[in-house]
Amino acid sequence: MIDTSYGKLTRGQLQVDRVVVHKASRRMDLIAGNEPILSYRISLGDNPEGHKLWEGDERTPEGDYTLDWRNSESRFYKSLHISYPNDRDRKLAEAWGLNPGGAIMIHGLPNDAGDLAFAYAGLDWTDGCIAVNNEAMDEIWSLVKDGTPIRILP
């Protein structure tokens, strides 16, 4: 996690306007105004290149979505839902005769990771979600409100 300074505001005063994910560099930025205020190392799906096309392709979608609800009782350490699939995603999958899938989240580590939590760092291990360590997830959980836009870039 990289903590950048943002004036004299404390973390409790930060207002995150949007989230931007850079898949190629495995970074996720929290943006206030036009400035990245916090940046995190992320893990993606096992097949990270390209836009998610169907359920089970282990890709992370690309495009503009919304973080529309949260789950504190997830099988991972907390999770924020990404509004995938949108109409475009459904049409793409339908053209192939496939189910676009869903349940794409930003989340922490598996709840049963225990002493093996260190082994997830730097690996792409999800089924298409965006994962961070649990400390980062606590911070994101507190700073990102439901309804926040998220842009996922290649």
pLDDT digits (tens, 9 = 90+) for 18-37: 999 999 999 999 999 889 99
* pTM assigned to the model: 0.88
Provide the CATH number for the domain formed by 2-153 in this structure.
2.40.440.10
Domain boundaries, the chain: 2-153
CB atoms under 10 Å from CB of 104, counted, come to 26
Q: Give the 3-state secondary structure of residue 110.
A: strand
**Of 66, 84, 67, which is closest to residue 128 (Cα–Cα)?**
84
Distance CA 149, CA 122 (A): 25
pLDDT digits (tens, 9 = 90+) for 53-81: 889 999 999 999 999 999 999 999 999 99
Q: What is the DSSP letter of 58?
A: -
Are the C-beta atoms of 27 and 21 separated by less than 8 Å? yes
Angle (CA) 70 66 27, round 5°? 90
**Of 28, 32, 26, 29, which is closest to residue 10 (Cα–Cα)?**
32
